[in-house]
Amino acid sequence: MFQTPPFSDLDDKLLELDSGLLLGSVNRDSRLSIFKGIPFAAPPVGNLRWAPPAPIAKWQGIRRAKEYGASCIQTPPEKGSFYQKEFLPTPHVYSEDCLYLNVWAPEAKVNEELPVLVWFYPGGFVWGSGSDDSIDGTALAAKGVVVVTINYRVGVLGFMTHPELTQESPNRTSGNYGLLDQIAALEWVQRNIGQFGGDKNNVTISGLSAGAISTHILSASPRAKGLFHKIIAQSGSVFAMKGHATLENNEAAGIEYANRLGASSIHQLRKLSPQALMAKPYKAWPVVDGWLLPESVSKVYEKGLQMDVPMLIGGTSEEAATLPLDVMNLSTFELWAEHSFGGYAQEYLKLHPAKTDRQAWEHFVSTKTESIHWAMRKWAYQQIMSGSKPIYLYSFNKTPPGELSAQHGAYHMGDLVYAFNNLDTVDRPWAKEDRELAELMSTAWVNFAKTGNPNGGNLPFWPAYQSKDGVIMVFDRKTEAKVDKLNKALHQLFDKEFAINHGYLRL
């Protein structure tokens, strides 16, 4: 547990991890201890580039943990773009040496072990950071949970596969390094979280978008067994991932990527600077590699082999509303439909006829939005069919106030600062109803992390999801449990496409 050394001031906390002594900060007002920039694995540089995370070497003396570590090398959203302005206004330092995590811990009572919430960030597996302002853990920790945010490798450095990497691996696999980072962080939690007052036997993994997809994958991975006990997933499921790539297919992509850089070997690639690597695009997605993920997530669930734990999942009502107008027009709409729905394209086009560029864009956006809704419900359905633990489904329908609110509605990631009760990290004219909703939603998230059930406090009763009645919790100006509103005809098309593609959509 925490120790206060006689030579420190009252704002310091010293504790001992398995890797050495760590000095963090104490917020006197909130009585929260905060430790930032804690290494959980060795820097993934040199020969450790494109390798599973290696153990961190023990350090001598006392390591300062009052500032965030560097974020992982990435291609962040374009400056001035919506998501850059909304969530990433504070510049980050980027480095390959980035495997750090951060902890916010309330003061625990004697012999008390607090629940733990571990967060995986969004960003499409190409950007993101565990030190974004929007996911500061102060507000959640003040409600009685230990909050852990982590960095994991993204982009080509986090997910490239290549035959040489597969050959050098003792597990005959490559790629998925970002997921292995997440597992390494969870293993760190198992070894060390007790020092912060946390309960290693009550760990909830949580995330949004790519972070939510990560939780879905880890629920199907034997490598993550025993490392977590509950899941919170916001707007992300493997089933809407655009593809469930195999190792063999992605190895070909790795060869093609190396050729574009003029590199004939992994040795040459490891000598290139991160900037040179990021200069060429690489589709960064997790793969079915035969080891971390032996088979598709869908097959794992169909066999009932997933981690059978309580789950809280859902998304926003206008997931894709921030897509710009130029992503789709009438001339490309039918081609997109044929690519996405194959033999069912004409059936889709009959349901969604377009005569103008605006109609084509609106159908494209609504279909993208509905694909995420469908994917979360498919996940819930599979858990109901093969699991025994409850799953709670929600929809976030509240439009944040301010610029473009009428256009974007309850957009993808719009629920993030409500769930973390961090409204003031985003520059919007928040009203009393927003603050009340953030308080309500964050309390439900904390309740779930504590007990596996979100109910309690001022929250209207939230029943576990059952597909036969379809009742979900709707967070809005008036939060209440309602029968789910679905585009049934479109969901039926998604089901057909899902069956043909063996566990994913091509959207």
The domain tally of the chain equals: 2
At which of 309, 330, 348 does a domain end? 309
Residues 278 and 329 grouped into a single domain: no
Residues 201 and 329 grouped into a single domain: no
Can you spell out the DSSP letters for 372-402? Answer: HHHHHHHHHHHHHHH--S-EEEEEE-PPPSS
Residues 145 and 209 grouped into a single domain: yes
Half-sphere exposure of residue 341: CA atoms within 13 angstroms, side-chain side: 25
Residues 291 and 189 grouped into a single domain: yes
Residue 276 pLDDT more than 90? yes
Given a contact cutoff of 8 angstroms between Cβ atoms, the answer to whether 269 and 258 are in contact is yes
d(CA 438, CA 458): 12
Residue 4 pLDDT more than 50? no
Helix (H) or strand (E) segment spanning residue 101: strand 100-106
At which of 309, 343, 360 does a domain end? 309
Q: Give 6's pLDDT tier (boundaries 50, 70, 90).
A: very low
Residues 300 and 320 grouped into a single domain: no
Residues 21 and 158 grouped into a single domain: yes
Two tokens, residue 343: 């033999």
Residues 48 and 147 grouped into a single domain: yes
Query: When comparing pLDDT for 474 and 282, which is higher?
Result: 474
Q: Give 399's pLDDT tier (boundaries 50, 70, 90).
A: very high
CATH number at residue 500: 3.40.50.1820
SS3 state of residue 203: strand
Residue 500 pLDDT more than 70? yes
Residues 387 and 249 grouped into a single domain: no
Residues 276 and 358 grouped into a single domain: no
Mean pLDDT of 193-213: 97
Given a contact cutoff of 8 angstroms between Cβ atoms, the answer to whether 377 and 465 are in contact is no
Residues 304 and 323 grouped into a single domain: no
d(CA 138, CA 26): 11
The torsion angle over the Cα atoms of residues 409, 413, 414 and 420, rounded to 10 degrees, is 170
Q: Could you read off the pLDDT of 41-85 as tens digits, one per residue?
A: 999 999 999 999 999 999 999 999 999 999 999 988 888 788 888
Mean pLDDT of 396-409: 93
Candidates 287, 254, 252; CA nearest to 269 is 254
d(CA 280, CA 254): 12
Residues 125 and 106 grouped into a single domain: yes
At which of 294, 309, 324 does a domain end? 309
Half-sphere exposure of residue 34: CA atoms within 13 angstroms, side-chain side: 21
Q: Give 243's pLDDT tier (boundaries 50, 70, 90).
A: low
Residues 405 and 359 grouped into a single domain: yes
Q: Report pTM.
A: 0.95
Query: What residues are labeled active site?
Result: 209, 319, 408
> Could you list the residue range(s) of the whole structural domain that residue 395 is in?
316-507
d(CA 102, CA 66): 9
Lowest average pLDDT, out of 246-255, 270-279, 455-464, goes to 246-255
